[in-house]
Amino acid sequence: MESIHGFVFSLFSFLIVLSVLIFFHELGHFLAARRLGVKVLKFSLGFGPRVIGRTVGDTEYLISALPLGGYVKLFGEEPAEGEAAQALSPEDRARSFSHASVWKRIVIVAAGPVFNMLLAYLIFTGALSIGVPMYVPDFDSLMPVVETVGEDSPAKAAGIKPGDRIVSIGDQKISTWVQMTDIVRRNAGKALTVVVERDHQTVPLTLTPALKTVEGEDGKTIEVGQIGIGKSPRGVKIEAANPLEAIYKGGQATYQWTYLTVEGLVRLVQGKLSMDNIGGPILIGQMSGQAASQGFGGLAFLIAILSITLGVMNILPIPVLDGGHLLFFAIEAVIGRPLSIRKREIAQQVGLALLLLLMVLAFYNDIIRLFVKQG
């Protein structure tokens, strides 16, 4: 029964998080379109059949049956060709998204990710203004730099010293602490060739991880390799003395979390971070439930981090995402005309395929975490 209650709580928390993120994202598109004179036909929270709604002016505001996103439907969002385009009245043409100037379209599309960043900034600033400190991970703390070496440990016997940076193990280059520990855990009792960087020089060493019995995340005992080195988790603590200072410090926290998100994404593309780090709705649901169990502050903090992630992901130049549309508009601004509908359709199909592959990977990782690693 407790597991059912936990699932319902996590699901409810997930829907709250998702609704807030999508609402702010779509609110950015909506406000920008209204401000620039483009007609908004629908503003929906959720997809699918309408549950409840009301039309005010030109816009229908509604809540739809599937609470897994939302959308803003703009008049003329799908560009018309030939006779259909000529049939538009001058008034409709003036309020059509596809007939707006390229700069207006750029502003409207970019407003979604910008509002995601704004949401994170408001949460950070609000927390700091009432005396709640924000913690931003120090990216250097993720690096494979040794801070402590245990006495009588394999690392000590191999000659590893505090301050050494693990450069490679065998023929594999090491760029993160997690990558290094993963190799060590899987190679208990095996002699490994390790190269460390010390005083700007590389030093080759031979290291044999000891077999240790430890408790896993699920409470069960497992056998892993360990070498006896340690690293203290570091973070940047951001505090504000008063609400005015919080306005600046909120921006600092938003910038540093955004930088960390972009840096992590770059390392993922470079292959320096494992694809196992990608998570989907199951992971977000679990995180939402855990954050909500810590109270409103924990849930708000998670919303801020996910909002930054959503903003960064949406700005990527992948067709289907906002960044893909911005890429099309940038090309149009340079060559003086939009790409043909056929070319955009092909690009959209490629982008959709990439997005579906990413979703499959995210679901796969979620399932592995949920059923394999825990059971």
**Which residues are part of the catalytic machinery?**
26
Output the CA torsion 305→308→313→314 (10° steps). Answer: 140
Output the CA–CA distances (angstroms, integers) from residue 123 to 25, 46, 136, in the order listed. Answer: 15, 23, 14
Three-state secondary-structure class, residue 167: strand
Q: How far is CA 230 from CA 27, 186, 226, in A?
A: 46, 18, 11
Transcribe 113-160 into DSSP letters. Answer: HHHHHHHHHHHHHHHHHTT--EEEE-GGGGS-B--EE-TT-HHHHHT-
Q: Is the dihedral of CA 79, 318, 278, 310 positive or negative?
A: negative
**Dihedral angle, C-alpha 301, 15, 67, 44, nearest 10 °:** -30
**Torsion (CA) 342, 314, 32, 118 in degrees, nearest 10:** -170
Containing H/E element for 220?
Answer: none
Of 326, 233, 351, 331, nearest to 29 by C-alpha is 326
Tokens describing residue 104: 């207006």
First CA to last CA distance, the chain: 19
